[in-house]
Amino acid sequence: MGWTRKILRVDLSKGTCKSEPLNMEWAQQYLGQRGLATKYFVEEVDPKVDPLAPANKLIMATGPLTGTMASTGGRYSVITKGALTGAIACSNSGGYIGAELKMAGWDMIIFEGKSPKPVYLWIQDDVAELRDAAHLWGKTTWDTEEIIKSSHHDPQVRVCSIGRAGENGVLYACIVNDLHRAAGRSGVGAVMGSKNLKAVAVRGTVGVSGIRDFKAFMTATTAAKKVLADNAVTGQGLPKFGTQVLMNVINEMGALPTRNAKDVQFEGARKISGEAMHEKRLSDGKANLITNAACFGCTIACGRISQVDKNHWSVVNNPKYWGATGGLEYEAAWSLGAADGVDDLDALTVANMICNEDGFDPITFGATVGAVMELYSMGVLTKEQIGIESPFGSAQALLEITRMTAEGRGFGKEMGLGSARLTAKYGHPELSMSVKGQEFPAYDPRGIQGMGLTYATSNRGACHLRSYTVASEVLGIPVKTDPLVTEGKPALVMAFQDATAAFDSSGTCIFTTFAWSLVDLAPQIDAACDGGWSVERLAELGERIWNMERVFNNAAGFTAKDDDLPARLKTEPAKTGPAKGLVSGIDKMVPEYYQLRGWNKAGVPDKETLARLGL
């Protein structure tokens, strides 16, 4: 059990919704969410498919612990071929909609084809139907959610939707749920938009009863919650400061990519840090942070709820942004802040709100602004082309470019390409801080070497959430490793990648892994699901998923040369801080990583490796 054993297949071209039994053989091999949905995806979709073509599919999937009392058991993932990357995409989100989908009785939804006109999917328990979304097209995610709730006369409906970014083909558009949670990366929202699918609205009243052994499950989840509560990171640091607990720490390490990674330390870091969010503003005597917030089932509660000064220049005539809403997480504070040299906390908060409101990934967006600011400083892009003077550090430029991107206006259309395509268009592809077309986030591989290998080998393009070796290299979890060396990192990255794939397939949040290992996860899954789930089985599951994703990417056309970092990180040494003089040692790490993975020198899994994993 653990699964509802039911999936919903939505053919957008024909306008049909059909229930199918879950493939239980695959569930035993791939568990749920990321693993199981990717299995369905690779079985059903040609790896060469154009991500924005009707033949691409998009899957929304829950895990066996989604909708249960397991801490953080509210996650769902969106699996498709990424619009930004052309690689397998898997974007994970919290909030409440994942649990609602499970409580309506569904393990996953597979969307295929393309609707001839804008529609949204309405699910009320076992009833699922496509409804006209003409009145929602052109609306923000915030308005869409409100209109749907009000038209169904039910405030308890949960909604995920695309904003104007997803409609306008911004290649890093995301799918936003519960106002400020998002399946954020790789452009899953652009794929949804290409299918004329505006939103999914769910009301679930069936509940989750398919737990193999309720008594064992309550014992296991209660014990695991205590582990989270007793841990300094998940019990104290994250609730108080959110992921923003890292801003000052990473800056001091000399690993905060600044001004499009020209620098590794940002002089304005303190002003945009988690600590600064707690401090009272000089202007109105109030703090940026209102409170922390949890996603469904989460006993950590790292989420930020913020409110900006009503008289801040960015919102002074715009009451829409005066209320409390989702605040800055570390990655967004970095991408909108340090990556662009901007240190105005309220301006960053507003830019982040607009990313939520119109649904685009602040990491890729902010990093692309950084590349644009560098092109501007070189004279390649001008004020006339962009529409505003755009030197590094300009909060005004950041806000105006954010609005243009949200509305698909002027230079915003070019912003929607992401940094790889945009810099190539203007003759400077080397200025895109990306891997496989996706921008890397807030950890500089010159100062945290393991993250270089993490970015280079991530199956969804550069990303911190595929193997967060920061845990080990910075925080000492599970053991402290030296961030400045490459030795031992290939094995570390591999272990993190496999464990993360297991967590991503369970329905729980990866942030639990500051305190949990597979030893904590296994008893919870085993109590929920048939089949005997041990630590070893979960580790192997992770490795199987990783290789399955790799095989898909290889078939999609990716090769070993795509497992690399931007030249800047390999040739321009860190100028300041503990990593001063260092570049990324990526070239030393990749061959060893391939060997450990059981892949050949071209990065292709050996036949023996695939056979061992049952692929």
Partner 1 sequence: MQKSLHIDPSKCTGCLQCEMACSYENYGVFNISRSRIKVFNFEHEGRKVPYTCTQCAEAWCMNACPVDAIRIDAATGAKVVHEDACVGCKVCTIACPFGTVNYVADTGKVQKCDLCGGDPACATACPTAAITYVDADWTGLDKMRQWAGKTDTQPRASA
Q: How far is CA 462 from CA 282, 339, 546, in A?
A: 38, 15, 15
User: Is 232 near partner 1 (CB under 8 A)?
Assistant: no
Distance in angstroms (rounded) separating the CA atoms of residues 40 and 78: 12
Q: Which is nearer to partner 1, 207 or 614 (CB)?
A: 207
Q: Between 16 and 156, name the residue whose CB sits nearer to partner 1.
A: 156
Q: Does 250 bind partner 1 (CB under 8 A)?
A: no
| Backbone torsions φ then ψ of 179, nearest 5 degrees | 70, -40
- Window 166-185: contact mask with partner 1 (x via CB under 8 A): -------------x------
- Is there binding between residue 491 and partner 1 (CB under 8 A)? no
Transcribe 71-111 into DSSP letters. Answer: TTTT-EEEEEE-TTTSSEEEEEE-SSHHHHHHHTT-SEEEE
Task: Give me the long-range contacts of 513-517 (CB less than 8 A, separation at least 24).
Answer: 513/468, 513/471, 513/477, 514/231, 514/233, 514/234, 514/238, 514/471, 514/475, 514/477, 515/227, 515/228, 515/230, 515/231, 515/233, 515/234, 515/235, 516/224, 516/227, 516/228, 517/478
Instruction: Identify which of residues 174 and 289 has a Cβ nearer to partner 1 in the complex.
Output: 289
Q: Distances from the Cα of 482 to the Cαs of 456, 488, 489, in angstroms?
A: 19, 10, 9
Does 399 bind partner 1 (CB under 8 A)? Our answer is: no
Per CB under 8 A, does 229 bind partner 1? yes
Give the separation between CA 330 and CA 350, rounded to whole angstroms: 15
Number of residues that bind partner 1 (CB under 8 A): 38
In whole angstroms, how close is the CB of 239 to partner 1 at the nearest point? 8
Min. distance of Cβ 343 from partner 1 in angstroms? 24
Nearer to partner 1, 93 or 194 (CB): 93
Is residue 573 a contact partner of residue 585, using CB atoms and an 8 Å limit? no
CB of 285 to partner 1, least distance (A): 17
Interface residue with partner 1 among 293, 345, 463, 494 (CB under 8 A) is 293
Please give, one letter per residue, the 3-state secondary structure of 283-294. Answer: CCCCECEEEEEC
**What is the closest distance, in whole angstroms, from the C-beta atom of residue 430 to partner 1 in the complex?**
43
67 scored as a contact of partner 1 (CB under 8 A): yes
Q: Rule CB under 8 A: is residue 124 a binding residue for partner 1? A: no
Q: Which residues sit opposite 8 in a β-bridge?
A: 19, 109
Is 568 one of the binding residues for partner 1 (CB under 8 A)?
no
Q: Which is nearer to partner 1, 237 or 366 (CB)?
A: 237
Task: Output 161 or 307, the one with its CB closest to partner 1.
Answer: 307
For position 396 contacting partner 1 by CB under 8 A, the verdict is: no
Kindly compute the dihedral angle of the four CA atoms of residues 80, 84, 85, 88, in this order, to the nearest 10 degrees: -10
Closest contact distance (angstroms) between CB of 355 and partner 1 is: 17
Distance of closest approach, residue 144 Cβ to partner 1, in angstroms: 15
Q: What are the angstrom distances between the C-alpha of 30 and each of 33, 210, 389? A: 9, 18, 50
Distance CA(412)–CA(499), nearest Å, equals 38
Give the nearest distance from C-beta 214 to partner 1 in angstroms.
7
| Amino acid at residue number 268 | G
Among 80, 115, 325, 394, which residue sits at the site for partner 1 (rule: CB under 8 A)?
A: 325
- Residue 297 touching partner 1 (CB under 8 A): yes
Draw the binding track, 182-221, toward partner 1 (x: CB under 8 A; -: no contact).
----------------------xxxxxx-x--x---x---
Q: How far is the CB of 286 from partner 1 (least distance, A)?
A: 12
Measure CA 186 to chain center.
Answer: 8
Q: Contacts with partner 1 in 304-323 (CB under 8 A)?
A: 305, 307, 323
Give DSSP secondary structure letters for 358-385.
Answer: HTB-HHHHHHHHHHHHHHHHTTSS-HHH
Q: Is 1 in the site for partner 1 (CB under 8 A)?
A: no
**Of the candidates 173, 182, 276, 298, which one interacts with partner 1 according to CB under 8 A?**
298
Q: Which of 3, 41, 120, 296 binds partner 1 (CB under 8 A)?
A: 296
Whether 241 and 274 have beta carbons less than 8 Å apart is answered as yes
359 in Cβ contact with 174 (< 8 Å): yes
Determine the Cα–Cα distance for residues 438 and 258; give it in Å rounded to an integer. Answer: 17
Distance of CA 547 to the CA centre of its chain: 20
Residue closer to partner 1, measured from CB, 332 or 420:
332
Closest CA to 332 of 439, 234, 441: 441
In our burial notation (b when 16+ CB lie closer than 10 A, e otherwise), range 63-98 reads bbbbbbbbbbbbbbbbbbbbbbbbbbbbbbbbbbbb
Give the residue, chosen from 294, 380, 388, 539, that forms a contact with partner 1 under the rule CB under 8 A: 294
Instruction: Tell me: does residue 156 bind partner 1 (CB under 8 A).
Output: yes
Smallest gap from Cβ 218 to partner 1, in A, equals 8
When the beta carbons of 41 and 296 are compared against partner 1, the nearer one is: 296
Cβ proximity to partner 1: between 57 and 158 the closer is: 158
Structure tokens at 309: 């000064």
The one segment of 259-267, 296-304, 468-476, 514-522 that binds partner 1 by CB under 8 A: 296-304
560 binds partner 1 (CB under 8 A): no
Binding site for partner 1 (CB under 8 A): 67-69, 71, 96, 99, 103, 156, 179, 204-209, 211, 214, 218, 225, 229, 239, 290-299, 301, 303, 305, 307, 323-325
